[in-house]
Amino acid sequence: MKNIYGLTYVQLESYLLELGEKKSKAPFIYQGLYKQQIDSLLDIPAIRQSLLKQLEEDFSMTLPRLVEQTEGDDTTKFLFSLEDGSLIEAVLMRQKYGNSLCISSQVGCNMACAFCQSGRFKKVRNLLPEELTGQIIYIQKQLHLTISNIVLMGIGEPFDNYDNVMQFLEIISHPHGLALGPRHVTVSTCGLVPQIEQYASHPAHGLLAISLHAPDDETRSRLMPVNRRYPVAQLMDAARSCILKAGKKIMLEYVMLQEINDHPWQAQLLADLIGCDAFHVNLIPYNETQNLGFTQSSRERILEFYDVLKKNHITVTMRREFGSSVNAACGQLRADYEKQQKQ
Ligand code: SAH
């Protein structure tokens, strides 16, 4: 049975037409699902019962099942189990400007970044559109709150699950549904160049963040195997074409790793690489995960790096260490949970 949370608005319209119904019923169904957030398809207002019964026969409304919820100061971390028992994570961040939710895009990840806990669990499968939407709906319903920003920065590489992620973005942006506009959704990639180029031709879908983490190929290839396929120069060219086509700034994420990528010469090289283009650098303190052999850069080193970028007129921010008290770095909760289960 198909899951209704995986259906785009256009697919819902075609379904109705196939039944011999009017397309004009689609807004009521989408609003029931995403605005009123009904628990049963039979509860959708303004639609006759026989059609609702048909909907109920044709679609499930299964959401991810909560396994564990961990509270931090202004973050809540959710560990979910999917229908096949796969475990994924989502992190809710309460910010001044609204609630942001960081969601996972795959079960495991094949990108194998050396510093990332998620890379230790090889990819099992891609998440389906309904499993992406389901993370948002579950949390909104359970906590009675509205999520105003979505970031695809949880477990997985969203562009290694391109079609499902694009379908998901279409679902959540629809005005009769969650109506999350393109400035409220960010897809983060480790640097899959062909998909960055493809994404650039869909400016309505959302913003883009690139996990750069080093400006030189030697360091980046050591940290991120994807760099051997798409080196820095090629990645930056794709990013520039994305800025030109979509007319939006791109965020470059830079996790600060002591004595690895935090040298002042690397800050200068990064500034030269950016030049005067519309990039925004976000310096992120490394969240130390067990036994991966990396250390968080000292505060002085981060400030020095920041100063070099500032002097070169680069837009740069320093991310406060979000979620470390709830083990919010990628894959940490899942790793802890699986360790407990083994004991
Ligand atoms: N695959 C995508 C999205 C998932 S990772 C990507 O690479 O962008 C989300 C971000 O968290 C990435 O920038 C990743 O490099 C970073 N990250 C991974 N482990 C981290 C850690 N222990 N501390 C801080 N950031 C981490």
CB burial string 34-59: b at 16+ within 10 A, e below: beeebeebeebeebeeebbeebeeeb
DSSP class of residue 158 equals: G
Task: Report which protein residue has its CA nearest ligand 1's atom 12.
Answer: 211
User: Does residue 254 contact residue 282 with C-beta atoms inside 8 Å?
Assistant: yes
Determine phi and psi for 14, rounding to 5 degrees.
-65, -40
CA distance 123 to 79: 17
Q: The domain containing residue 249 runs over which residues?
A: 65-342
Beta strands per DSSP E along 198-287: 207-211, 250-256, 279-285
Q: Average pLDDT, whole number, for the chain?
A: 92
89 is catalytic: yes
Other CB atoms within 10 Å distance of the CB of residue 182: 16
Query: Judging by beta carbons within 10 Å of its beta carbon (0-12, 13-18, 19+), is residue 22 exposed, middle or buried?
Result: exposed
What spacing in Å lies between the alpha carbon of 303 and ligand 1's midpoint?
21
What spacing in Å lies between the alpha carbon of 123 and ligand 1's midpoint?
15
| Per-residue pLDDT reduced to its tens digit, 17-57 | 999 999 999 999 999 999 999 999 999 999 999 999 999 99
Where does the pLDDT of residue 291 fall: very low under 50, low under 70, confident under 90, or very high at 90 and above?
A: confident
The verdict on 56 and 70 lying in the same domain is: no
DSSP class of residue 258 equals: T
The verdict on 296 and 177 lying in the same domain is: yes
Q: Is 163 helix (H, G, I), strand (E, B) or coil?
A: helix
Output the pLDDT for position 130.
98
User: Does residue 279 contact residue 249 with C-beta atoms inside 8 Å?
Assistant: yes
The verdict on 7 and 131 lying in the same domain is: no
Output the pLDDT for position 162.
98
Tell me the two tokens of residue 110. 């094949």
Determine phi and psi for 105, rounding to 5 degrees.
-115, -15
The verdict on 210 and 321 lying in the same domain is: yes
Task: Out of 13, 42, 60, pick the residue that ends a domain.
Answer: 60
The verdict on 122 and 76 lying in the same domain is: yes
Ligand 1 atom showing the smallest separation from residue 152 Cα? 3
What spacing in Å lies between the alpha carbon of 253 and ligand 1's midpoint?
8
- Count up the domains in the chain and report the number: 2
User: Does residue 76 contact residue 326 with C-beta atoms inside 8 Å?
Assistant: yes
The verdict on 20 and 98 lying in the same domain is: no
CA distance 173 to 161: 18
Task: Report which protein residue has its CA nearest ligand 1's atom 19.
Answer: 116
Where does the pLDDT of residue 244 fall: very low under 50, low under 70, confident under 90, or very high at 90 and above?
A: confident
| Per-residue pLDDT reduced to its tens digit, 248-283 | 889 999 999 999 999 999 999 999 999 988 999 999
Amino acid at 218: E
Nearest C-alpha neighbor of 260 from the set 225, 215, 211, 310: 215
Task: Out of 42, 60, 78, pick the residue that ends a domain.
Answer: 60
The verdict on 94 and 209 lying in the same domain is: yes
The verdict on 32 and 88 lying in the same domain is: no
Ligand 1 atom showing the smallest separation from residue 287 Cα? 23
Whose tokens are 């996972």? That residue is 104
Task: Report which protein residue has its CA nearest ligand 1's atom 7.
Answer: 190
Output the pLDDT for position 199.
94
Task: Report which protein residue has its CA nearest ligand 1's atom 13.
Answer: 211
Q: Sign of the CA dihedral 221, 90, 74, 337?
A: negative
| Per-residue pLDDT reduced to its tens digit, 151-179 | 999 999 999 999 999 999 999 999 999 99
Spell out which residues line ligand 1, taking CB within 6 angstroms: 111, 113, 115-116, 153, 157, 188-190, 211, 253, 255, 284, 286-287, 289, 329-330
What spacing in Å lies between the alpha carbon of 181 and ligand 1's midpoint?
24
The verdict on 145 and 224 lying in the same domain is: yes
Ligand 1 atom showing the smallest separation from residue 102 Cα? 9
The verdict on 32 and 82 lying in the same domain is: no
Angstrom CA distances, 170 to 60, 141, 261, 262, 323, stand at 20, 21, 37, 38, 29
Nearest C-alpha neighbor of 190 from the set 116, 286, 283, 140: 116
- String of DSSP letters for 270-288: HHHHHTTSSEEEEEEE--P
How long is the chain?
A: 343
The verdict on 54 and 88 lying in the same domain is: no
Output the pLDDT for position 320.
67
CATH number at residue 53: 1.10.150.530
The verdict on 267 and 170 lying in the same domain is: yes
What spacing in Å lies between the alpha carbon of 116 and ligand 1's midpoint?
6
Ligand 1 atom showing the smallest separation from residue 160 Cα? 1
Nearest C-alpha neighbor of 327 from the set 2, 68, 59, 10: 68
| Per-residue pLDDT reduced to its tens digit, 52-109 | 999 999 999 999 999 999 998 889 999 999 999 999 999 999 888 899 999 999 999 9
Q: Which of 116, 190, 242, 330 is catalytic?
A: 330
Output the pLDDT for position 339.
61
| Per-residue pLDDT reduced to its tens digit, 197-221 | 999 988 778 999 999 999 999 999 9
Quick check: 306 pLDDT over 80? yes
What is the rounded average pLDDT of the residues 226-231?
Answer: 98
Task: Out of 11, 42, 60, pick the residue that ends a domain.
Answer: 60
| Per-residue pLDDT reduced to its tens digit, 321-343 | 555 545 555 555 555 665 655 55
Query: Judging by beta carbons within 10 Å of its beta carbon (0-12, 13-18, 19+), is residue 281 exposed, middle or buried?
Result: buried
Output the pLDDT for position 342.
56
